[in-house]
Structure 1
Amino acid sequence: MSFISLLKNNVISIDIGSFETKVVIGCKKKDQLIIDKAFSFKTPDSAYMNGYIKYNNVLVNKVTNEFVMNNVKSGICYLSIKSTDIITREITIPVIEKKDIDGLLKYQLAEYLPMDYSKYVIQHRIINKFIEEGKEKLNISVIAAPADMVDMHYNFVRDIGLRPVVLDYQPNCIWKLFCFSNGINGKIKIEDKTIAAIDLGHDSTNVTIIKEGIMKINRVIDMEDIKISSKTKELTIEKSSESEDIGNLCDKFSFYNGNINNIRTSLESILNRIDRMFKFFLSNDIGCGIDYIILYGGLSKINEIDKLFFDYFGIPTMILNRIEKLNTLVDINKYINCLGLLIRNDGV
């Protein structure tokens, strides 16, 4: 049996979702992403929820079997995570040396993040530098992930026989990929636009707003109380090359289970929550508008969902289907987190 060679500095990039797990094997070389292989499979029921591994042995067995079927052996692993329990904040501090930022944050974080720091892994990223009242200051993005969540992902990677190297927050993956690319869908230049990238996942929706290449805000919207049936989720996975019309989905939905809520009601609930987030962003960035909405993720496969978003928000909306600087045709929409994981900029 021949296995994929990892001698070319290839990385095994994994995006575990509550409904589907995606894997990309490749690397970033100079100004291009080189992809050797990409595959996906259904995540075992209830094994992974809201960023937590609930049944490690079940998930390990499933992933290990899929690796054997796809001729993947050992190597370096990058893993992405997303959870409503991950806390993010943007804070402002005076300009200081990079090596001194961690120390300063320890004293200032209590003002922004009232929590038990011993239970979180905290990291930061410099967003930009600006001048306020004649003094230079830094905008810092801080992310705090539950320590037990980080530990369980580290142990999981070791259990599947890989070497854990990177655990990255999904909005960070999206931001890096969009900045790395020359354009989105062949026409949107991120450096002079404000875009809202929306991951319409099966169990959560993630909104990342990027203004002129700078990630301004990201939030994970919990969809626990928004019921979308497993049959609808399966339909969005089955239709990898063609989309399903909302009306047809509803017909099939009713055929399989007449008591399930209409999918239009679920989508409307999602739109309402996204609208509140947009209003929060715009209220804190006076004079700014959102130029484009970019949709991706499982539910973005529903045909004309971009039209639904445009009708609701009045903002040009499109489904993500293309980025530049990629060496092969791969489903960008599906593997976006895995691709963004491959890009490491100054260790972030």
Structure 2
Amino acid sequence: MKMFKGFQLRQKIANIIIKDHVIRYVELKQTTPLILSRCEERYLPSGIIQEGKIVDRETLETILEECVSDWKLKNRRVRFIVPDPVVVIRTISLPKGLEEDEIRSYLFMELGTTIHLPFEEPVFDYTILERTNEKLVILLFAAPEHIVKSYSELLEDVKLRPIAADISPLCIYRLFHTADQTKKEEHLLLVQVDLSAINVSAFHQHRPVFMRQLLFEGKFEQWEKKVDAFGNIVLEWKGKEDEPLRQLEDVYKEIERVMSFYRFSIQQGNGQISRILLTGDHPYLPQIYATMRERFDIVEMLSENLIVSDNSKTIPPSYHLALGLALKEGTS
């Protein structure tokens, strides 16, 4: 006897983001159109994770166990993101004669010897940027193996089953691409402004070209949690009144520097940023968007019509990263 197809239950994959200040989780009902089944978040006390590195594992494990229990995720398959501060993206020229199936082995041999990274024993992936008779150029993504392993083992210890890791620029780009807000010929700058850092990454030909991160000095405990009219947790600043605005001024200057670097150093004057895509979980994101529109005039945010929620609840930009992770293919 065969079960009716409509009665088959398929366990969804959990998509978890763990940042210095928060744990977020989303689950999709379907991808076309994009319908969100569930989203949850749990803010972390200051100091448990610092610049992507787990400092107080015992407390973090306790909190994550509570999340797994409250969100009913036990034994679920899970995707997670490698923290931005530990990720390195490099453009590297390889011997032009290397075949496709030889590249990974070559990188295994040369990382740490002829190809230098700011850490030992990396985990890595790559994409081919250019292959001609004269040269072979790849984009290398790398992170310290022990840090990636610390997150994977943490997830396993709270009865989850990690099946895939990703990096935030690829997740954010994937989401904007789903919204039909990317074009292959354009030079796009993704700007992700979060509570503790800004991540800036450039894309061309649907590929990342480089990534840069700027950390903020502000302390998380100076933000007070409140619940808005939609039932979402929002943060209000309780420190020195001008401090977040001063930090944001640094953000705009950094974006200008990145755009100049991209135009003159990376593109050698032959290309420049044509559009800026803005997202993030910073409480001042609407003000940031307004200011950036005035300064750059090429800024846009994710289309509000892209995401539909099961309960018609408004989905804030703070969940965009997890949504982009949920759209990762090949692991469902």
Q: Same fold (TM over 0.5)?
A: yes
Cα distance in 2, alignment partners of residues 270 and 298 from structure 1: 14
Q: CA deviation at 1:208?
A: 1.6
Q: CA deviation at 1:267?
A: 0.7
Do the aligned partners of residues 116 and 62 (structure 1) sit closer, same or farther apart at CA in structure 2, a change above 3 Å counting?
closer
The one-letter code sitting in structure 1 at the alignment partner of 2:100 is: K
2:155 to 157, 161, 180: 157
Do the aligned partners of residues 304 and 83 (structure 1) sit closer, same or farther apart at CA in structure 2, a change above 3 Å counting?
closer
Cα distance in 1, alignment partners of residues 146 and 330 from structure 2: 26
- Tell me which residue corresponds to 1:46: 47
Aligned pair 1:262/2:233, yes or no? no
- Tell me which residue corresponds to 2:3: none
Q: CA deviation at 1:74?
A: 2.1
Percentage of matched positions with identical amino acids = 18
- Tell me which residue corresponds to 2:4: none
Do the aligned partners of residues 322 and 168 (structure 1) sit closer, same or farther apart at CA in structure 2, a change above 3 Å counting?
same
Cα distance in 1, alignment partners of residues 13 and 308 from structure 2: 15
- Tell me which residue corresponds to 1:72: 73
Cα distance in 1, alignment partners of residues 330 and 72 from structure 2: 32
1:230 to 215, 221, 224: 221
Do the aligned partners of residues 116 and 291 (structure 1) sit closer, same or farther apart at CA in structure 2, a change above 3 Å counting?
closer
Cα distance in 1, alignment partners of residues 330 and 101 from structure 2: 14
Do the aligned partners of residues 204 and 54 (structure 1) sit closer, same or farther apart at CA in structure 2, a change above 3 Å counting?
same
Aligned pair 1:113/2:97, yes or no? no
Q: CA deviation at 1:49?
A: 1.9
- Tell me which residue corresponds to 2:302: 320
Q: CA deviation at 1:11?
A: 0.6
- Tell me which residue corresponds to 1:92: 93
Equivalent residues in 2 for 1:251-330, closer than 5 Å:
253=237, 256-257=238-239, 259=240, 261-283=242-264, 284-285=266-267, 286-299=269-282, 301-312=284-295, 314-322=296-304, 324=306
| 8 Å Cα contact 1:291-1:316 kept in structure 2 | yes
| 8 Å Cα contact 1:228-1:266 kept in structure 2 | no
1:335 to 313, 319, 325: 319
The range that moved more, 338-347 or 165-174, is 338-347
The alignment partner of 1:331 has SS state of coil
| 8 Å Cα contact 1:20-1:40 kept in structure 2 | yes
Equivalent residues in 2 for 1:137-176, closer than 5 Å:
137-176=135-174
Q: CA deviation at 1:145?
A: 0.8
Task: Give the TM-score normalised by structure 1.
Answer: 0.78
Count of aligned pairs: 317
Cα distance in 1, alignment partners of residues 229 and 192 from structure 2: 16
Cα distance in 1, alignment partners of residues 139 and 13 from structure 2: 26
The alignment partner of 2:218 has SS state of coil
Q: CA deviation at 1:136?
A: 5.9
The alignment partner of 1:339 has SS state of helix
| 8 Å Cα contact 1:129-1:136 kept in structure 2 | no
Aligned pair 1:221/2:214, yes or no? yes
Q: CA deviation at 1:37?
A: 1.5
| 8 Å Cα contact 2:49-2:55 kept in structure 1 | yes
| 8 Å Cα contact 1:291-1:315 kept in structure 2 | no
The one-letter code sitting in structure 1 at the alignment partner of 2:291 is: L
The range that moved more, 322-331 or 333-342, is 322-331
Cα distance in 1, alignment partners of residues 145 and 61 from structure 2: 20
Cα distance in 2, alignment partners of residues 136 and 171 from structure 1: 30
Do the aligned partners of residues 196 and 228 (structure 1) sit closer, same or farther apart at CA in structure 2, a change above 3 Å counting?
farther
| 8 Å Cα contact 1:92-1:139 kept in structure 2 | yes
| 8 Å Cα contact 2:11-2:76 kept in structure 1 | no
The alignment partner of 2:159 has SS state of coil
Q: CA deviation at 1:157?
A: 0.5
Cα distance in 2, alignment partners of residues 340 and 289 from structure 1: 25
Do the aligned partners of residues 306 and 33 (structure 1) sit closer, same or farther apart at CA in structure 2, a change above 3 Å counting?
closer
| 8 Å Cα contact 1:227-1:261 kept in structure 2 | no
Do the aligned partners of residues 241 and 121 (structure 1) sit closer, same or farther apart at CA in structure 2, a change above 3 Å counting?
same
- Tell me which residue corresponds to 2:127: 125
Equivalent residues in 2 for 1:187-226, closer than 5 Å:
188-223=181-216, 226=217
Larger fraction in helix: 1
Q: Give the superposed CA RMSD.
A: 3.2
